[in-house]
Structure 1
Amino acid sequence: MTAKRKPAAPFYAVAALWLLGGLFLPLYSNTAIALLAAVSAAVFLLVNGICQGGRAAAGSAGTEKKEEAKAPEKPKEEPTTGNPELDKAIKDGKLALSEMKRLDDNIADPGVSADIVRLSQVSEKIFQAVRDDPDKLPQIRQFMNYYLPTTLKLLNTYDRMSGAGVSGENIDGTKEKVEDMLKTIVRAFEKQLDALYGADALDISTDIQVMETLLAREGLTEPEMKADPVQEDGTDIRLELYPRGM
């Protein structure tokens, strides 16, 4: 425990007061000495009170600054879309992408790392597609509830076994199965992303067909050109075979 130091200013003030008293008062008189002593006590208490108040104010300011410095920063609130289910999907998606990045940093195998990067890229595009068009959210429920968390579970298992530092039938066999499965998962994620644009592709095909029909009806398209039959030697002679007896 640190001992508090008394302020020196009150003592200096009393000393200065006695010096002035020695110059202007007859200190050989008991009355003058008693008067100066009383005034010195009052000056001491006054100056000491001022010093204590200043130190208290400074200490309070310092404490407030320390508390402000120690106060943790409040996490930034994610902007809401007004759709709780969509907000949850976006939040879970960000957590999944963050976990994939962590696993990619931990796992040294270049093939597995490349698969994780691809999974991360496709997953991010899936989340972006749903963010742009919330009507697609029902299409990724199975992806969010099973495929994505199961993929992260497989990768975490692979990460733990890789960090075990030993080789064995169980560890090596499991790692090999995960490596093979990752190729299938990458293709599945890519198909999930492609499926999100199925309705868009159908709409575009319909629009193109309708436009082609209207353009042709209005005569705004070029008629298809058909090639004339090639005639050799510049003749029009045709050979026709007839049955006998005609």
Structure 2
Amino acid sequence: MKTTRQKRAAPFYAAAAVWLAYALVLPLYEPLHYALAAGASLLAFAAAAALCRGGPVGEEAGKAPPEKAEEPVEKKPASTGNPELDKMVRDGEMAIREMKRLDENIADPGISADIVRLEQVSARIFDEVRTHPEKLPQIRRFLDYYLPTTLKLLNAYDRMSGTGVSGENIDTTLAKVEGMMRTIVAAFEKQLDSLYGAEALDISTDITVLENMMAREGLVDSPLKAEPDEKKETDIRLEL
């Protein structure tokens, strides 16, 4: 709501009072007398105006000024207590933001789709390591080399494709990056898959033990001795 201000009448009353007082007390019949009276009235007007200046009047008077809205502060991720893990979280968030920016800037639909896939896979890698910090050493090379190098290549592609110029160096570089993207996506997916290697081995072992225990208890046929119900001949015979 806008604050309305009204002109105060007090300065005019003060100026008029000076003229009246001057006329009653001092002579007022020469030009000098009028000049002195005018100067005194101007001083009175200015003083009264200064005293009345400032506050809003009417409905707005007496109301507290509106509080200034607080600027949003970027929320920092909570510390995990592990400096290396905290660094991975920060670097991962920066990498995801950079991928989003590159996806918005690059017009080529094929590269854009590859960037979206890299963003999805990278986010899952970071989430898995955040949940299981013991897996952090498994992605050390991914963090230190593969991820930053990929972002470097994509940034170069972004700059060159945005020049609007076709030339041998630019076209060759763009073609190389485009040809490399599918390999990079496959490598990122394999990195994510490798994080589940130990878990997959444990599940496979549990399944084998469970099958053997059930077979010993007679609950299922032994996987080693089970035979098909009907024997099928596999030899090919020719009859004349």
SS at match of 1:194: helix
2:196 maps to: 197
Change (3 A) 1:108 1:10: closer
Q: In the alignment, does 2:185 pair up with 1:170?
A: no
* Higher helix proportion (structure 1 or 2): 1
Task: Return the alpha-carbon distance in structure 1 between the equivalents of residues 50 and 164 of structure 2.
Answer: 69
Q: Which has the larger radius of gyration?
A: 1
Alpha-carbon distance, 1:74 to partner: 2.1
The 1-side partners of 2:107 and 2:230 are apart by 66
**Identity value in percent:** 64
User: Once the 2 structures are TM-superposed, how far is the Cα of residue 176 of structure 1 from its aligned partner?
Assistant: 0.6
**Alpha-carbon distance between aligned partners in 1 of 2:78 and 2:199, rounded to the nearest angstrom:** 27
In the other structure, the counterpart of 1:216 is 215
Residue 160 of structure 2 corresponds to which residue in structure 1?
Answer: 161
Query: What are the Cα deviations for residues 198-228 of structure 1, in whole angstroms up to 9, with x where unaligned?
Result: 0000010111111122222222223534446
Q: Greater CA deviation, 206-215 or 182-191?
A: 206-215
User: What SS class does the counterpart of residue 167 from structure 1 fall into?
Assistant: coil
Q: 5 Å matches for 1:60-209? A: 62=65, 65=67, 68-69=68-69, 72-209=71-208
Counterpart Cα distance in 2 of 1:147 and 1:229: 54
CA–CA distance in 2 between the matches of 1:216 and 1:201? 23
Q: What is the rounded CA distance, in whole Å, between the counterparts of 1:148 and 1:105 in structure 2?
A: 19
Structure 2, unmatched stretches of 5+, are 1-5, 17-47, 234-240
Paired positions, count: 199
Measure the CA separation in 1 of the matches of 2:107 and 2:50: 68
Task: Give the letter aligned to residue 190 of structure 1.
Answer: E
Q: Whole-Å Cα distance in 1 between the matches of residues 9 and 75 of structure 2? A: 49
**Residues 228 and 96 of structure 1: is their aligned pair in 2 closer, same or farther, counting only changes over 3 Å?**
closer
State the distance in 2 between where 1:214 and 1:168 align: 68
Deviating more after overlay: 198-207 vs 76-85: 76-85
Give, as a single letter, the amino acid of the residue that structure 1 aligns with 2:180: M
